[in-house]
Structure 1
């Protein structure tokens, strides 16, 4: 159960990161609300997962999922250029996250 919660909280990390970029310094209400809700859900999920998973592993997986999804979203929306090296590095990051799960 902790791994599922950790993955979901990693998704929420990407949501709050994208929302933060759209708040324009917290001057836009809707993205600011999404940011606050998503960061709360993300932190609660991470804290829950850390009750049973090693802190280093849980944090690395959480950050890896959030970072990969945030960059992937930016590429999909055209906010960030898609390059071969970026795609390969993201695949490597995802591979490392999976590796941490398998190495537990």
Structure 2
């Protein structure tokens, strides 16, 4: 259950990062509200997961999911560069997160 909470929390990190960008410096209330709710739920889920998962592993997985998810949304939906080197770097992040899980 802790790993499920951690994955969902990582996905919520992607949600709040996108909402933060869309809030235009908190000048738009809807994305600002999405940011606040997603950030709170993301941190609460991380807190729950860290009851069973070591801090270093849990935090790295949480950040990794959020970073890769946010970068993918940027590339796929926001027309950010999807160059081969950027994609290769995302694979390295995923490999690192998988490695932390395997050697946990």
Q: Same fold (TM over 0.5)?
A: yes
The alignment status of 1:92 with 2:92, answered yes or no, reads yes
Q: For residues 58 and 4 of structure 2, what CA distance do their matches in structure 1 show?
A: 11
Q: Map of 1:28-47 to 2, 5 A cutoff?
A: 28-47=28-47
Moved over 3 A (4+): none
1:46 & 1:80 partners in 2: Cα distance?
28
Alignment of 1:1-104 (within 5 A): 1-104=1-104
Cα shift at 1:79: 3.6
- Consecutive unaligned residues of structure 1, counting only runs of 5 or more, are none
Aligned to 1:52, the other structure's residue is in SS state coil
Gaps of 5+ in 2: none
Q: TM-score, normalized by length of structure 2? A: 0.96
CA RMSD, 1 decimal: 0.8
SS in 1 for 2:52: coil
Q: TM-score, normalised by structure 1?
A: 0.96
Quote how far apart the aligned CAs of 1:99 are. Answer: 1.2
Query: How many residues of Structure 1 are paired with residues of Structure 2 in the alignment?
Result: 104
